[in-house]
Amino acid sequence: MKLTKPEKIPLTDLKLGKEEVAAVAAVLRSGWLSMGPKTAEFEQRLQEFLGVKHAFAVANGTAALHLACESLGLKEGDEVLCPALTFVATANAILYTGARPVFIDINGPHDLNLSVADAAAKVTERTRAIMVLHYGGYPCDLDGVRALAAKYNLKIIEDCAHAPGAVYPSPDGPQMVGTIGDVGCFSFFANKNMTTGEGGMVVTGDAGLAEKIRIRRSHGMTTLTWDRHKGHSFSYDVVARGYNYRLDEMRAALGLMQLQKLKERNNQRRRLTSAYHERLRDLPQLELPFLQAPTGSAYHLLPILLKGRIKRPEFMASLAKQGIQSSVHYPPIHCFSHYRQMWPPLFQHNLPITEEVASRVVSLPLYPAMSMAQLTHVVKAIGAFLASRSRV
Ligand SMILES: Cc1ncc(COP(=O)(O)O)c(C=O)c1O
């Protein structure tokens, strides 16, 4: 009998529509490709969507985080609290300023976000800021973070790479993630909930900070090429050490289309997450983080934790055999060679929960275009593997 080749189910899959292709093509025909009117419109729409006063489109999410750190005045000798269970860009952005990341543990297998209690225990007289991640799109304890920041006079940077459109259920009413700290930073990398290929956005409600971000995004210059093209200005000054972190018009046009679709796509991610949770929650060899989380997540990732004697490489290989891609979010940052060299060999970061959870976390496929049939295929493959393990 001929076996059917297993269907390929990627971790994430991007489906762009005709309207996105048309929007980018229109920019190409317009003759103006670098930062200009489309970028300004993209910033305006994101401001309205989030309900925030200032938004600056940038080249990528890492640039957004770097601009946030630098505009807040972080420098050598400063310490910044941040999770270790995040993408390395979170901590790299802190390093660019000369400041040092101080890694904070997570809450537990049920909640992979940063523990405010551990953050409080690691505050020193050098701590200047806390950079939080909303892991997988699930808002972290922002009220706890705000209380900590108020107590120790810390700035709050929200790394919202996973969380565009996520809503934090604050006691004062729902608030958009990214607008609660001093600065919010978004990534529009190709695997994110909304994408421009490469791209990002920095948002803030603080006018002084906004001006610093605006200036630093484009070489520290007081005017843009677009301003000069339009005859708004003929010259410029350079008033700070700046960067070329600009976004281009093609990406801005794509971002505008993606923003229009974000709510519906996040809803679709929520439906898929509920279906996964419903069908995996009773398997005794699994733990499901964020099972009890409130519904404001952006549902970027679908993490599961393997329990008992289930070995992760075997588990992932068995899914791969069925054509299913899985991944690990994340190898903790303090374990990377470059980061290990920054501290003396016996230094204890004291991250027991992060290390334990990171050793058994697996991300399953999750993307808006995923069908229920594909989800069923993933769930069945997991069930079959776990059943085979329980017999050995
Ligand atoms: C948590 C987190 N922070 C920061 C980044 C950096 O974003 P970018 O790749 O757009 O620089 C990413 C994504 O790649 C991320 O997942």
Cα–Cα distance measured from residue 177 to residue 262, given in angstroms and rounded to the nearest whole number = 14
Q: Tell me which residues have their CB closer than 6 angstroms to ligand 1.
A: 60-62, 86-87, 89-90, 133, 159, 161-162, 187, 189, 200
- Cα(57) to centroid of ligand 1, in Å? 15
- CA–centroid distance, 191 to ligand 1, in Å, is 10
Tell me what pLDDT residue 5 has: 53
Note the pLDDT of residue 171.
Answer: 85
Q: Which atom of ligand 1 is nearest to the CA of 93?
A: 4
Per the annotation, the verdict on 192 as an active-site residue is: yes
pLDDT at 4 (0 to 100):
52
Decide: helix, strand or coil at residue 200.
strand
Chain segment 315-367, per-residue pLDDT in tens? 999 999 999 999 999 999 999 999 999 999 889 999 999 999 999 999 999 99
Residue 153 has what pLDDT?
98
The helix or strand, by DSSP H or E, that contains position 306, with its residue range, turns out to be strand 303-306
Give the pLDDT confidence score for residue 1 in this predicted structure. Answer: 39
Query: What's the pLDDT score for residue 227?
Result: 75
Q: Which contacts (CB < 8 Å, 24+ apart) does range 111-114 have?
A: 111/138, 111/289, 111/290, 111/293, 112/85, 112/136, 112/138, 112/289, 112/290, 112/303, 112/357, 112/361, 113/83, 113/138, 113/139, 113/140, 113/141, 114/81, 114/82, 114/83, 114/140, 114/141, 114/145
Q: Is the dihedral of CA 350, 356, 359, 365 positive or negative?
A: negative
- CB of 268 closer than 8 Å to CB of 262: no
> 284-314 pLDDT, tens per residue?
999 999 999 998 999 999 999 999 899 999 9
Look up the pTM and report it.
0.96
At 86, list the tokens.
């995040």
Please, what are the averages of pLDDT over each run of 10 residues along the chain (392 residues)?
65 95 98 95 98 98 98 98 98 98 98 98 98 98 97 98 96 94 98 98 98 96 78 84 97 98 98 98 97 95 96 97 97 97 92 98 98 97 93 66
